[in-house]
Amino acid sequence: MSEDAFIRRGNLRRLCVSRNWGPKDLTLAAGRRYSFWFDLLNDSKKSFGEKVARDIEQQLNLPRGWLDEPAALPVPSTLGAEEAQGQYVVPFWPFSPDLLSAVSTLGEDEMQRLEAVIRAHLGLSGATDG
> For the domain that residue 30 is a member of, what is the CATH number?
1.10.260
Same domain, 51 and 107: no
**Number of domains the chain is built from:** 2
Q: Residue 102's domain spans which residues?
A: 95-130
Q: How far apart are the C-alpha atoms of 2 and 115, rounded to whole Å?
A: 34
The residue type at 105: T
Question: Considering the domain boundaries, does residue 120 fall inside one?
Answer: yes
Dump pLDDT digits (tens) for 1-57: 578 888 899 889 988 888 889 999 999 999 999 999 999 988 878 889 999 999 999
Question: Considering the domain boundaries, does residue 114 fall inside one?
Answer: yes
Q: How far apart are the C-alpha atoms of 130 and 126, rounded to whole Å?
A: 12
Q: Give the global pTM.
A: 0.56
Q: How far apart are the C-alpha atoms of 37 and 32, rounded to whole Å?
A: 8
